[in-house]
Structure 1
Amino acid sequence: MNDIAELKNFVVAHTRSQGLPPETYDPLLDRIRHDGDGTPGSWVREWSAEAARLADAGKPLEASVHYNMARFPFVDGAARATALERCTAAFAEWAAGFPAISRLDLELAGGRVRCWTVGLDADVPRPLLVMTGGIVSVKEQWAPVLLQLDRLGFAGLVTEMPGVGENTLPFDADAHRMFSGLLDAVEGRADTARTYALALSFSGHLALRAALSDERIRGVVGAGAPLHDFFTDARWQRGVPRVTTDTLAHLAGSTPGEVYGLLAGRALGPEELAALRIPVAHVTSLRDEIIPPGDARLLRERVRSVRLLEHDDVHGSPRFFAQTRLWTLLSVLRMHGGYREQRIALTREFARLRYASSARARTAVRA
């Protein structure tokens, strides 16, 4: 079973990224006492009960968010499997109200990848943005961004890392090849020669490795990505939160005691990072308890064209989600070029949020 205190701690970044305010999820978390497989007072039961209430109230997107949290961090039994099924079904109900959003199921070498897409059009192929989350987030968590991408004139494809959610590809040493497989599959319906990856957390590592061999990837925007030290520093690994280690072991088909040895060969070396010829933008959390500081330092020192945004926060920077959302989208627009008016508007809003957060910090210090 998962450590409930740890789950409550790490779920905060994901609740905030989906627009849930603390007054909504704090009472729910207070009701959770254990991690039994859907039994009363359990993680899955309490999140699922609230999800069902929202579904009955005609709020499918909110229901999907809560079912997503019910299956967090990964499916380990019947109750979480049911929560994942209901999460995707509720999201599909919501997406049915937006004809631009489509479901796309792809059979790639090694397994099936299910996606949510927008703007795929053989008559007018658009530049493509591929978005992926990390080891504990499913595509439905990020797919609402497709509506914004459509308004900007991008084709969008949102999916999961191998082994996460509905993605049945193996999380092995070739997992990064998924990105090239996705581009091959939508070739002709998107301008894949102008592809940008918005790859969060652990999928950022896969996207950077994919970019080394696939020239169609013209830029990578990430946040909290493991690169080198995470995979090689045994002392750091001993302090990694249990939920992260357990999830990696689940994805890799290994055990918590053996998974880091299995993953050691996947580190991106300094020479590989230096070989990147594309722009890279990355959000770093200065108090990240999962990703060691040396990985962000490698980006700064080795990648030729890199922009870094630093937040004084833990992994995922939950206190700065609004800033991160604006900055990552702005970074994609910078990489692509054009969009002058949108870039100016996003830059102004980002500066406003940045100033407001620093002002609050100064006030707290004076108090």
Structure 2
Amino acid sequence: MSYQWPLDVNDLFGERYPQMVGNGLPVPDVDAVRAAVTDMWADEPGGWVHEWSALAARYAEAGSHGLSALAYGWARFPTLADEAKRVALAHQSEQYLLAAPGFPVAFRRDVLDLPYRGGVTRVPVHVLTPPAVAGKGPVLLVSGGVDSWKMDLHGLLVTLCSHTGLPAVAFDIPGTGDSQVPMSPDGAEIVRGLIGHARTLGNGIVVHVGISMGGHYSARSGLAGEADAAVVLGGPVEAAFAHGRLARFGMDGIVGNALGFDRQPGHDDLFAALTAFSLRPLLDQDGQAPMLVINGADDVHVPQDDTLVFEGRRATEVHLLPGTGHCAVTKLPEVLGIISEWLPRTLSTLRAGPVTTVGPK
């Protein structure tokens, strides 16, 4: 199920331009697409998917498969609301796999059948392993956001592997990318299955790293004690789900699509669906794993409360970085430095204790 909704392309370019060029696309090429696009949904010259796909096709013809995958990622952005977007995602997957032999990390794509609501659901994952990895150690489980998916986050995944020296298993959260089910609190069952799978790839220790809405799921994994440790980067926890919060940059439509609506929901319907995502019941307990919680102080999507609520909790470190916004994207080197310092210190304490195996439930 999916739907289109009114979306201002100028607003999107204004918000996402730093991400577009920061991920490695040449500035002149992004500027040219920005000048050409006049409409989000028209599959014709001037349309978002058309202009981004044309750029991606030129990269592909030149053999620049990595750049092509990035451009197709923007073509299918922000969600699979129509057939043109789904075609762009298929092209992105094709180009990404063509680029894989040139990655600075070992790469493979696995397709898992995981328990979900009494049956199973297919969950493709990407496994990235840095060349220095020897033997079996901890594994990072990485979940992206509601509009930036595992292929879109490739540069960050490679950098994370490089900084930590650990392999990463990346997946799309429910309702996004390769997922075959809508986004819901029940998606935690899928994450539990992924944690169980990741335990089999290393020494049993799994650190769930979540970015944006993926940070909601890593916060849940950490608070429930299902992962051995959790990193939450810009994750919505409870305040972000308050009535009227999803009003900027088309986020209400992006989330509405992820939730499985087939037409634009009213604010009351959207709020009713999001209320169940609040992690307040887990915040009121104390069964959590060690957690690192980071965000930018100027986030327009996730209020500061969803970061500061973790202050003073046991085994928890909190960083609210000034002068940056959602997921602190303009200060990623600082974010990676914080993670790289926290992770080995935390893993040393985990290695000293027993390993708890949490498999699919």
TM normalised by structure 2 equals: 0.83
Residue ranges of structure 1 left out of the alignment (5+ in a row)? 339-367
Distance change >3 Å, CA 316–CA 153, structure 1 → 2: closer
- The answer to whether the aligner puts 1:283 opposite 2:288 as a matched pair is no
- The answer to whether the aligner puts 1:225 opposite 2:238 as a matched pair is no
Q: Distance in 2 between matches of 1:8 and 1:197?
A: 30
CA apart distance, 1:276: 4.7
- The answer to whether the aligner puts 1:46 opposite 2:51 as a matched pair is yes
- The answer to whether the aligner puts 1:109 opposite 2:112 as a matched pair is no
- The answer to whether the aligner puts 1:55 opposite 2:60 as a matched pair is yes
- The answer to whether the aligner puts 1:173 opposite 2:185 as a matched pair is yes
Aligned with 2:212 (options 174, 196, 201) = 201
How many residue pairs align between the two structures? 331
Q: Distance in 2 between matches of 1:286 and 1:147?
A: 23
- The answer to whether the aligner puts 1:182 opposite 2:213 as a matched pair is no
Distance change >3 Å, CA 16–CA 195, structure 1 → 2: farther
CA apart distance, 1:130: 0.8
**Where does residue 294 of structure 1 map in the other structure?**
305
Instruction: Indicate if the aligned counterparts of 2:163 and 2:336 stay in contact, CA closer than 8 A.
Output: no
What's the C-alpha RMSD, in Å, of the aligned pairs? 2.6
CA apart distance, 1:133: 0.8
CA apart distance, 1:326: 3.7
**Where does residue 253 of structure 1 map in the other structure?**
260
SS at match of 2:305: helix
**Where does residue 98 of structure 2 map in the other structure?**
93
CA apart distance, 1:32: 0.8
Instruction: Indicate if the aligned counterparts of 2:219 and 2:231 stay in contact, CA closer than 8 A.
Output: no
CA apart distance, 1:158: 0.9
Q: Which amino acid aligns with 1:104?
A: D
TM normalised by structure 1 equals: 0.81
Q: Distance in 1 between matches of 2:311 and 2:185?
A: 25
Within-5 A mapping of 1:331-350: 331-337=342-348
**Where does residue 152 of structure 2 map in the other structure?**
141
**Where does residue 359 of structure 2 map in the other structure?**
none
Q: Distance in 1 between matches of 2:288 and 2:20?
A: 35
Instruction: Indicate if the aligned counterparts of 2:211 and 2:234 stay in contact, CA closer than 8 A.
Output: yes
CA apart distance, 1:21: 5.4
Residue ranges of structure 2 left out of the alignment (5+ in a row)? 350-361
Using CA pairs below 8 Å that are at least 6 residues apart, which structure has the higher relative contact order? 2
CA apart distance, 1:150: 7.0
Q: Which amino acid aligns with 1:39?
A: E
Moved more, 109-118 or 263-272: 263-272
Q: Distance in 2 between matches of 1:195 and 1:326?
A: 20
Percent identity (aligned): 23
* Bigger helix fraction: 1
Aligned with 1:83 (options 77, 81, 88) = 88
Distance change >3 Å, CA 39–CA 263, structure 1 → 2: same
